[in-house]
Amino acid sequence: MEIDAPAKVNPVLRLHGKRVDGFHEIETLMVPIGLADRIDISVGAGQGILLGCSDPSLPVDVSNLAWRAAELFAKETGLAFRTEIFIQKNIPHGAGLGGGSSDAAAVLKALDQLLGTNLGPARLMQMAAALGSDIPFFISCVPAVCRGRGEVVEPAARIPRMELLLVFPPFPVSTAWAYGAHAAGAGNSATLRRAWGSMELVNDLEPAVFSKYAVLQALRDWLLRQDGVAHAMMSGSGSTVFAILENAAEGLEERLHGEFGAAFSARRCSTVASAV
């Protein structure tokens, strides 16, 4: 079967200090968007995992979350099967958009369907939490407030649809590094907070990440000054910076390339709004 693995943005990301397990206590609003990897997956007799990816820079072994998801599914269900997975990678790596986490969740959901195990969302989310903090969100993949280290997922009501411009810098940002830099107190700038409807948009990781990658702050601030942009901020731990558009914002991509160069690619998409 083929299954989409959507990306996400974080219009809200607040950090509340370190937990005893070493993770940060977070409160974040995560919203799926219309950008997705495409996962082609099949199962058959035998055992083992064969993983391929359209991006040759990404590992296709046990260090890949999609591989680990298939491995965990076999262990938790006790089933023996051979899995072949190919990832058509459309979500940039190290971009703060949850691509690897979404791939892993898609593998869990696909195997549940292909093997007829009917584990249900709660069991799949337990398995997802064992793999990584963001992965439970992608099991349901609807706008949600995530707490704890990200594994406590509560669907969010009445999140309006947002038209976005995603800007991809030509480099990734390590999530582990970003959280470590924040914990170490990196960054001198104040966290930008802006009201948008009933929400306060904020990313507490921005000052730490901007302390090393000053171009990301320059990019965010430039977007904030552009006509048609209601707000701009970094998604997750970066490196993607996204603008919320209030109108067509014609010519924004051309102005972006003129200011930052063609290496900073851009894509328009929209969020997936809540059902209620």
Catalytic annotation, residues: 8, 134
Torsion from C-alpha of 162, 216, 134, 68, nearest 10 degrees: 130
Residue pair 173/203 in contact (Cβ under 8 Å)? The answer is: no
Positions of E strands within the chain: 2-18, 24-44, 48-53, 82-88, 144-148, 152-155, 163-168, 193-196, 199-203, 229-234, 241-245, 265-270
CA angle 79, 134, 171 (to 5 degrees): 115
What does the block give as tokens for 30?
A: 């995560």
Q: What SS3 class is residue 170?
A: coil
Report the alpha-carbon distance of residue 186 to residue 198 in Å, rounded.
Answer: 30
SS (H, E, C) 85-135: EEEECCCCCCCCCCHHHHHHHHHHHHHHHHCCCCCHHHHHHHHHHHHCCCH
